[in-house]
Amino acid sequence: MSSTSTSSTTRLQLYAVIKTHDHIFRIRLRLPIETKSGLPNNTALTTFQQWYSAFAGEVQGLFLLPWKDSDMATVSPTTCVSDFPSQLMEFRVFADKIHPRGGKTTLWLVIRVAFNGSLNEALSTQECAMSWYFGEIKGGAYPYEVQSSEDAVEVGVLAYTSNHSNQFHLEQSLQPLMKVRDPVTRTVRNLKIGIVPKMHKDFPKSDKNWDIPTEQPLIVFADRADSKALRRILYQAFNCEPDFMKCPGYLNSRLIPSKDFLSVGSDAAQNWDCLI
């Protein structure tokens, strides 16, 4: 048997094992880059290896998977740090959206892993590797906004939601609306969405409400292919309905689209009505 056939068989066997794992999970990472001891790319890769080792100590059977499903046909998953690529450029098949922010001291990327064990335990404590912001490197790791998407984008913010609102209630309330008909196959499918709560500086307490907690806007994300449909559905459900009792979840909210989804014209008054 050729080496190519052997490696292909081994890769298929590994993915067969991965399918039996409890969780296949996408993660967003924020890694600091130290440039004093070497090149930024090398230090970023070393920092990621440290995070991976820490996370491997908390869960069982950890695998690092290619970010895109299409790459799984040619790329084997990584099972340990010793299998990591030596260069950051070679690591791109396992990650996406690798780019610096905040000058040259921070690197953001997203990865996909498979592991066994309790997902709640992996996410619930401040000292866990998934929340490594509280650890040594002052970086960060948290769940990717849309787990079923390879390319998630921010659609907008549901503003004016109170501290009693949460993403779980909203996701349940929106579920009947999150369906579209494929124009080609004519079949109905569910939109790929994600909702993340965020304390935002642009939504402070009003002058009359200093005694209540800050409002908690809900950030809505979607797969890029579903983003326009989701924006239209949310706009019609919240912005076009004056009676909040008829809005999903009885939320007195308004969708403020992200800058990439704003549809504005020359009439300033009409533009303002579209937002609030």
pLDDT in tens, 224-265: 999 999 999 999 999 998 888 888 888 888 888 887 766 555
Q: State whether residue 39 is helix, strand or coil.
A: coil
pLDDT at 81: 83
pLDDT at 68: 93
pLDDT at 209: 45
The Cα 68–Cα 61 span in angstroms is 20
Q: What is the pTM of this model?
A: 0.77
The separation between the first and the last C-alpha atoms of the chain, rounded to the nearest angstrom, is 66
Domain boundaries, given as residue ranges, for the chain: 3-143, 152-275
CB-based contacts of 107: which residues, under 8 Å, 6+ apart?
30, 31, 32, 33, 40, 44, 98, 99, 100, 101
Which residues does the chain have with pLDDT short of 50? 1-3, 6, 101-103, 132-135, 200-213, 268, 272, 274-276
